[in-house]
Amino acid sequence: MAAADCLSLTSAGLYCGAGDFYIDPLRPVPRALITHGHSDHARPGHSKVLATKETLAIMAIRCGPDFARETQAITYGETIRLGEVDVSFHPAGHVLGSAQILLCHRGQRIVVSGDYKRQDDPTCVPFEPVPCHCFITEATFGLPVFRHPDPRGEIAKLMASLQLFPERIHLVGAYALGKAQRLIALLRASGFERPIYIHGALKALTDYYASTGIKLGELRPLAGQRREKLAGEIILCPPMALEQLALKGDTEPRKIFASGWMRVRARARQRGIELPLIVSDHADWDDLCRTVVETGCGELLVTHGEADALVYWAETRGLAAKPLHLMGYGEEDLENPVEAPE
C-alpha cells in the first residue's frame, strides 16, 4: 500500500505521521482534521481542529462553543501545509460543510472521503471527484442491492399521502443534521409551501442552515401547538422522538421515516413505519463504484460499512484494495439526536 504510507491506523483512528494529525479521530487528540459534523466523525475535546467553517459551526452547535481549544477554518480548494503534507478540503455533498480531505505527500495524492453522496442536495455543495493515487472510502451501502431511488419520487409519495390522509398528522423521522434540512428543501422544491412543523431538537441546526442562505420556507416550532390543529400537516422530528410523538393525541399520526435503510423492508416494519422514504445521504452501490473509477485511483481502502463487496469489485478491476475495519463510524443510525425538549 505505497500511496497510503503516510497514514497509519491507531486506536484513535486514521493518523498521518508526516503531518502529525488525525482525521475524524474517535477520542481527543492534539490535532484533528474533521470531514463533517456528524457525531461519529466530529467529536469534542481535541486541542486543535481544522475543518470548514460550516463544520466548525455545526460542532459548536452540537458540542458547545468550547468543543476544541483552538479551531481553524479552511475553505474548499485552499491548501494548508501541515508538517510535510499539503492538505486541502473538497466538497463531499454529504451534509452542509462536508469535505473530502486530500493529502499530498512526496508526490502521492491520498483522498480521505469521509461520508459522501452523488445525488442532488440543495442544502450542500455537490461532491467533486478528486484525482488521487489512493482513495479512502466508506461503504455504508456497499452492496449491489443498495440502489437509492430519485429522492423526488420519495417526496412525491409523501405528497400523495397528504392527499390520501388529510385528517392525519404526517410525522416524519429524519436525522437532525443534514437529512431533516434536505427533506425540507426537497419539499419546497416539489412545490410544498405550507408551514412545516419541527421538533425542538432540529431547531438549532435548521436555523443555522437557513442562516447560510438555504431557503427552507416557513418553519414552526412543534412545541406549544395543539395536536388537533395539526391534522394533515407535516411534522419533522429526530428518529428517537418518532415513537414517543406517535403515541400522543387522539388520532394516530402516520409514521414516516426517511433513511437509506428504508430500502430494507424489515427495518421499516420493525419500527412500525407506515411510509418508508428511501432518502440517503450516503452513496449507493453504483455511486460508490462510479466514484472510485472517477478518482482514477490505483489503491482503494475501505474504512467501514459493507467493505468486502467493494474490495472484491475493486480487485476485479485491477486495483489494490483492502478493508480497514475502522470501528466507531457509521453510527448515525444509532446516535441519539434528541438534544432539546420538544
Residue numbers of the site for Zn ion (CB under 5 A)? 38, 40, 115, 329
Nearer of residues 313 and 329 to Zn ion, judged by Cβ: 329
- Set of cell numbers at residue 280: 440517503
Nearer of residues 40 and 233 to Zn ion, judged by Cβ: 40
Q: Give Cβ neighbours of residue 307 (< 8 Å, ≥ 6 apart).
A: 139, 142, 323, 324, 325
Please state the closest distance from residue 178 (CB atom) to Zn ion, in A.
7
Nearer of residues 85 and 99 to Zn ion, judged by Cβ: 99
- Set of cell numbers at residue 290: 462510479
CB 92 within 8 A of CB 116: yes
Nearer of residues 276 and 305 to Zn ion, judged by Cβ: 305
Nearer of residues 40 and 287 to Zn ion, judged by Cβ: 40
Nearest CA to 111 out of 139, 138, 93, 137 is that of 137
Mind giving me the DSSP string for 208-272? HHHHTT-----EEESTT--GGGGTT-EEEE-GGGHHHHHTSSSSPPEEEEESGGGGSHHHHHHTT
Please state the closest distance from residue 280 (CB atom) to Zn ion, in A.
11
Please state the closest distance from residue 330 (CB atom) to Zn ion, in A.
5
Please state the closest distance from residue 182 (CB atom) to Zn ion, in A.
12
In the chain, how long is the greatest CA-to-CA distance? 66
Nearer of residues 115 and 154 to Zn ion, judged by Cβ: 115
Nearer of residues 40 and 284 to Zn ion, judged by Cβ: 40
How far from 258 is each of 97, 198, 309, CA to CA, in Å? Answer: 21, 15, 25
Please state the closest distance from residue 68 (CB atom) to Zn ion, in A.
19
Mind giving me the DSSP string for 84-152? TEEEEEEE-SSSTT-EEEEEEETTEEEEE--S---S--TTSPPP-----SEEEEEETT-STT--PPPHH
Q: H or E element: which one contains 81? A: strand 79-82
Please state the closest distance from residue 156 (CB atom) to Zn ion, in A.
26
Please state the closest distance from residue 131 (CB atom) to Zn ion, in A.
23
CB 46 within 8 A of CB 26: no
Please state the closest distance from residue 168 (CB atom) to Zn ion, in A.
31
Nearer of residues 40 and 299 to Zn ion, judged by Cβ: 40
Please state the closest distance from residue 229 (CB atom) to Zn ion, in A.
35
CB 172 within 8 A of CB 256: yes
Residue that has been written with the C-alpha cell 473530502 in this structure: 100
- Set of cell numbers at residue 45: 475535546
Q: Within 13 Å, how many C-alpha atoms sit on residue 78's CB side?
A: 11
Nearer of residues 38 and 43 to Zn ion, judged by Cβ: 38
